[in-house]
């Protein structure tokens, strides 16, 4: 958008890049609505998959003419959200992995020491 690509073409490019088939369908339907003369915010509002904040920010971008800046700001916001979610998930997985490794070491240690103890107690 900042480099001058038309909104309709930007939606088509975005739809081809998105990996999720649900969002691809939503974006292509929005592109068809925009082709018919509907504002982008209204085209997105029809789909419950699109968060309300995105619709509101796109509407503000349409009204102010700063769509590229608004979309860039939203992209940075969602990138931070994803990074925070991944960091939280990793911080939750680390203690579980430590406990699993400790259990594995304990089982290995028991598997080695129990036979030695049984042999030693037999004499």
| Contact by Cβ (8 Å): 73, 64 | no
Residue numbers of the domain that contains 23: 7-87
Residue 74 has a pLDDT of 92
**Helical pair 67-121 and 52-64, crossing angle rounded to 10 deg:** 150
Q: Does residue 83 sit within a domain?
A: yes
* Mean pLDDT of the region 97-121: 92
Q: Does residue 39 sit within a domain?
A: yes
CATH number of the domain encompassing residue 64: 1.20.81.30
Tokens of 34: 């925009």
Q: Does residue 25 sit within a domain?
A: yes
Per-residue pLDDT of 19-61, as tens digits, reads 899 999 999 999 999 999 999 999 999 999 999 999 999 999 9
| Contact by Cβ (8 Å): 40, 54 | no
Q: Given a cut of 90, is residue 65 above it in pLDDT?
A: no
Q: How many domains does the chain have?
A: 1
Q: What percentage of the chain has pLDDT greater than the value 70?
A: 99
Whether the CA torsion 36, 38, 41, 45 is positive or negative: it is negative
* Mean pLDDT of the region 102-112: 95
Q: Given a cut of 90, is residue 119 above it in pLDDT?
A: no
DSSP state of 6: -
* Mean pLDDT of the region 75-88: 95
Q: Given a cut of 80, is residue 122 above it in pLDDT?
A: no
Q: Does residue 107 sit within a domain?
A: no
Residue 123 has a pLDDT of 63
Q: Does residue 43 sit within a domain?
A: yes
Q: Does residue 106 sit within a domain?
A: no
Any idea what the Cα angle at residue 71 is, between residues 69 and 74, rounded to 5°?
110
CB count in 10 Å sphere of residue 15? 17
Q: Does residue 60 sit within a domain?
A: yes
């Amino acid at each position: 958008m900042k480099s001058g690509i038309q909104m309709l073409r930007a939606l088509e490019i975005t739809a081809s890049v998105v990996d999720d088939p649900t969002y691809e369908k939503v974006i292509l339907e929005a592109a068809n609505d925009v082709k018919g003369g509907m504002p982008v915010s209204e085209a997105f509002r029809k789909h419950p998959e699109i968060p309300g904040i995105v619709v509101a920010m796109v509407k503000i971008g349409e009204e102010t003419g700063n769509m590229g800046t608004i979309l860039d700001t939203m992209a940075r916001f969602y990138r931070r959200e994803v990074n925070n979610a991944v960091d939280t998930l990793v911080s939750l997985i680390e203690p579980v992995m430590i406990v699993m490794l400790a259990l594995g070491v304990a089982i290995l240690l028991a598997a080695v020491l129990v036979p030695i103890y049984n042999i030693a107690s037999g004499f």
